[in-house]
Amino acid sequence: MNSNLQSQSKYTKRDILTSPFNENSCKILLLGSGELGREVIIQAQRLGMATVAVDRYENAPAQQVAHKSHTIDMLDGDAVRHVVELEKPSAIVCEIEAINLDMLMQLEKEGWPVRPNAEAVWITMNRERSRDMIAKKAGVQTSKYTYVDTEDSAAFKDAVEKIGYPCISKAIMSSSGHGSYFIKTHKDIEPARLIALKDARGSGTRAIIEEYIDFDTEVTELAVRHLDENGKIVTSFPRPIGHYQIDGDYHASWQSPNVAEYLPWKPQDIGAKFKPDEDLAKKAEKKIYEAAEKITGALGGLGVFGVELFVKVEDGKVRVLGNECSPRPHDTGMVTFMSHMIGMNEGALHLRAICGLPVPARINEDGYRVIDPIMPASSHVIKAASGGWDPEFSGIWNAGNMQGVNVYLFGKPNVPYEPDSPNEVHRRLGIVLATGRDALDAKKKAETSAHKIDMRTRQFEEWVSQDNTLDARKKHILKS
């Protein structure tokens, strides 16, 4: 290992950067090269760092912009070691959980700098370990829950009835809504069990059954664990991000310098169902930071963590409950590509933290380090409407011909699908970002623009609108 790598394994501040092809350059190796990792790569290149993107398929989004790329099975420990020893990175950055964790932990023991750390990836890739960490180790309140073997139909039924209706089942080994099912009545039990079995990542055969919380809003807190001026690990907090999911997968998100626009309720409810309440918004924000600090403190390491939380108002009091946590930038956090200044979005914050670079923040009245957005903004997904290779998009002119709107396409080369159901696909292919007078105005603009875009693939040549994607056919926040 070179001295550059050794110093980073000890969590030291970085004060020297070079060009990417210098022998002492800071080199970022990304394990998983999706759209979130692509932004990390772009931010690294803005600082003259060398970048290497690894994924299981060719031409993944981050591979398209990195200096070098490798395509391997990341569950193959020997393949992971080969790439690490070949590239000798200054930081190994985990963008996904589907990595051979035994090898990741071994590499970390040998001194290779895994970020945020191997244990955090191990915990968060599994909903059982993650929920126990949140509820027991971090001590953050959650919904009621229990675990069950999905191969045992009788035990699955008993677990559901123990939690009560309605409830939610989720495969332990899954993410982005895969393997999840909303159970309203006993008729949903068997479909939920089969979905948890079918969509689990790898060979997982366990599920978590969770109490359904009728929350007022759902947020992501992008807690940033980084080094301060004295080399001490501290946590800084971008303002909470409101978001909306369909079947457990992100569909839209929003953020504003004025959190009272969307806390402690959904932005479309403030001014309609509820009067804006600065006091409740501040209380919610404080409790969000408190919960996120406990959860990320339990995981340790350096970097951005996407902490998903529920916010509930009862009898004039705010409750914040823990849901999940990812050890990396979060899909809902892509709104920061617009709401934050260049060099301070979630990808840039992750890069700064893992590389020992400064993360400037102000200290608020409650003593928390806060990173303020510069404008209200929102993101809205562009989803696949059909499966196949070589996706194409039309309506780009109309979608982008509005002040304060940007269209981002991720460049994914294909949309996997089942031959008997080519329109039952979930893949996210891009986002629309918008600014506005406030969070609600930005959210409306982002959705309106996103729904002007049609898509097709080589195998299915008919143009299909965003109104006919699987998600939009089910439910939509501004059309409901």
Catalytic residue among 34, 37, 177, 242: 177
Catalytic residue among 175, 180, 336, 379: 175
Catalytic residue among 97, 218, 277, 308: 308
Distance CA 255, CA 335 (A): 7
Catalytic residue among 108, 199, 331, 471: 331
Query: Which residues are paired to 155 by β-bridges?
Result: none
Active site residue 217: no
CA 430 to chain CA centroid, Å, is 14
Q: Yes or no: say if 30 and 350 are a contact pair by the CB < 8 Å rule.
A: no
CA 144-145-151 angle, 5° bins:
160
Active site residue 177: yes
Q: Yes or no: say if 277 and 217 are a contact pair by the CB < 8 Å rule.
A: no
Catalytic residue among 324, 438, 441, 447: 324
Distance CA 324, CA 310 (A): 10
Distance CA 225, CA 228 (A): 10
Active site residue 324: yes
DSSP 8-state assignment for residue 213: P
Paired sense of beta strands 91-94 and 27-31, if any: parallel
Q: How far apart are the first and last CA of the chain?
A: 56
Identify which of 337, 222, 374, 219 has the alpha carbon closest to the alpha carbon of residue 281. 219
Distance CA 450, CA 437 (A): 19
Active site residue 303: no
Distance CA 316, CA 280 (A): 8
Distance CA 69, CA 189 (A): 43
Catalytic residue among 428, 454, 456, 471: 428
Q: How many CB atoms lie within 10 A of CB 229?
A: 8
Provide the b/e sequence for 430-462 (b: ≥16 CB within 10 Å): bbbbbbbebbbbbbbbbbbbbbbbbbbbeebee
Distance CA 202, CA 257 (A): 41
Active site residue 161: no
Query: Which residues are paired to 91 by β-bridges?
Result: 28
Identify which of 172, 223, 158 has the alpha carbon closest to the alpha carbon of residue 200. 172
Catalytic residue among 332, 449, 457, 469: 332
DSSP 8-state assignment for residue 200: -
Count how many Cα atoms sit within 13 Å of the Cα of residue 350 in the half-sphere of its side chain. 34
Q: What are the catalytic residues? A: 175, 177, 308, 324, 331-332, 428
